[in-house]
Amino acid sequence: MTPVPTPNPSADARMAENELYQDIVVEHKRAPRHFGHLAAPTHQARGHNPQCGDDLQVELDVADGKLRDIGFQGQGCAICIASASMMTEALIGRDLAHAQDLQQRFRAVLTGQLEPETADLGKLVSLAGVRRYPSRIKCALLGWHALMHALAGEASTDEGTTA
């Protein structure tokens, strides 16, 4: 069956440009916040997606149940880098319970279990469009997975499988 063509192809074609790659996302990709190493990290973990080559190292400075500082470095797509960058902004100075909670809400929005409007994601809501791109959800969650693994004190994560 040939799907019915949409009435305005050019608008449809710009969907990803407007919804997935919003200005704020591209801006965080161009100039990621807290990109680099911490002087004395207390926790760290690597998130790796072997299929696409995304590879992030997340370092934490945790004291008194708070994330005093977060640094990340590595390489990845715009979605991956922007998400990790916004993650550092949203979590530095916050307590671990908040980090856990925000991670769960962000994940629930991306996997379609929670509507973006009700999730109180702050800037991260700009990445909600990823929910319409199932193959890209792992990109948006890579930094977050690394952060959770760092807190859990586990070894590096392995997203997906090798090709």
Is residue 16 near other proteins by the rule CB under 8 A?
yes
Least distance to other proteins, CB of residue 1, Å: 8
Task: Please say whether the beta carbons of 86 and 143 come within 8 A.
Answer: no
Cα dist. 45→63, 91, 126, 129 in Å? 17, 16, 25, 27
Helices 78-91, 137-152: axis angle to 10 degrees equals: 40
Is residue 142 near other proteins by the rule CB under 8 A?
no
Is residue 63 near other proteins by the rule CB under 8 A?
no
Choices 50-58, 84-92, 103-111, 141-149; region in contact with other proteins by CB under 8 A: 50-58
* Site residues (vs other proteins, CB under 8 A): 2-3, 5-6, 8-17, 20-21, 26, 29-30, 50-54, 75-80, 133, 136, 139, 162-163
